[in-house]
Structure 1
Amino acid sequence: MLERLVSQGIRAQPVLDAMAAVPREAFVDEVQSVRAYEDCSLPIGQGQTLSQPYIVARMTELVMAGEPRLTRVLEVGTGSGYQAAVLAQLCQSVFTVERIGAFLEQAKARHRALGLLNIRYMHRDGFKGWPSQAPFEAIVVTAAPDAVPPELKEQLAIGGRLVIPVGAQGGGQKLTVITRLADNEYQTRWYDLVSFVPLLPGSLA
């Protein structure tokens, strides 16, 4: 997997080391474990997926932006817990928000089994982020809204980065990085064309 990631353009060694440190097979059902390292997304139930290794590495590289370590990072869309586990290798504290309670509990169990104790969890609408813990040096969103939620931009620290896929499903989503330059000033850059499940409002029990 690491050789493939390098061939796909992932260059940051801390990101490659983080990907190597997290056993991807621990974040999928046993029937999917033989495919854990394939270059594809995998179903995790309720219409959600675990992103392919390249996308996880690419988003992590954009989140880190060359920094060796970050202090506070928010993830929106815990899902299987894999992206949070990768971020936990690189960040002092990871705050992760998930609208599906069953996913959140499963992710907690997986993280605890791996000894990852620097991740905090919230069951809530991802569009709202986690304002009581803001500001964040970086926010990564693992599902795609049609437009960037303003609440997430507002939870960035000055200089912080929001990494988010934006666009309708099947309609040309773009991996987008928004940097907060000042209180009301943001810079937007667009990267890869991607395909993510939609970011949905509300919470499920």
Structure 2
Amino acid sequence: MSMKKIWRVLKYILSIGLLLFIVLVGVGWYSYHENETARKNSAFIQSLERTEQNHGDVIKLLFEGLTKVDDKDAQLVTAWLKKRQNRGEQPYLYLIGIYSGLQSNQRSKLHGLEYLAKAALVYRVDAAKCGDPSANQAVPILESSLGVNLIRNNLKNHPEMRKKIILSALDYEEKSYPRPAPLWICAHGMGYGNPAPGENDFQAHRQKTRAQFESWF
């Protein structure tokens, strides 16, 4: 092939590539602004924003929303929660799981199961940061109220899905470390304010919890 023909082909390829890039950017821009408009028009999201800004009871509002939101609001709340998932003041990972499960499409429901598993592992690991063995009771108590135990037992009938979900949780715990102390767990402890364990003790607890999680969840 002559040099002229090679450059003609490259020009054609670059033209197609540029066109695809423009289309993708346009789709991304439209999607972002569509979601931003939906967020601003959602009474529930705006209520969450105001409550958080005023240091109100966000967790109460989120639990009340579980029985009220429609599919679109569930998507918006999930996105709102994901921006906060690395913070420790509320059980955001559990809430991401539940709000994902409220959505109508099957992909989001699977995503919800993965987040519930991530929550179960991460919060059991991080509970040790509270320095109070009684604090970790907050985790199974919350799981019981959310029906996580029922979901976990049902997953045992679907071994391939369960394996995928467990691996996803282990990967998330590994990549999201280090994380802040889970204040919502620490606040439930009888001896809130005790010093956290040393790094060696914490890492031993972390590895033990990860190993137990693989067979337990």
Q: TM-score range by the shorter chain?
A: under 0.3
Which of the two has greater helix per residue? 2
Which of the two has greater strand per residue? 1
TM-score under structure 2 normalisation? 0.26
Kindly name which structure, 1 or 2, has the bigger radius of gyration based on alpha carbons. Answer: 2
TM-score under structure 1 normalisation? 0.27
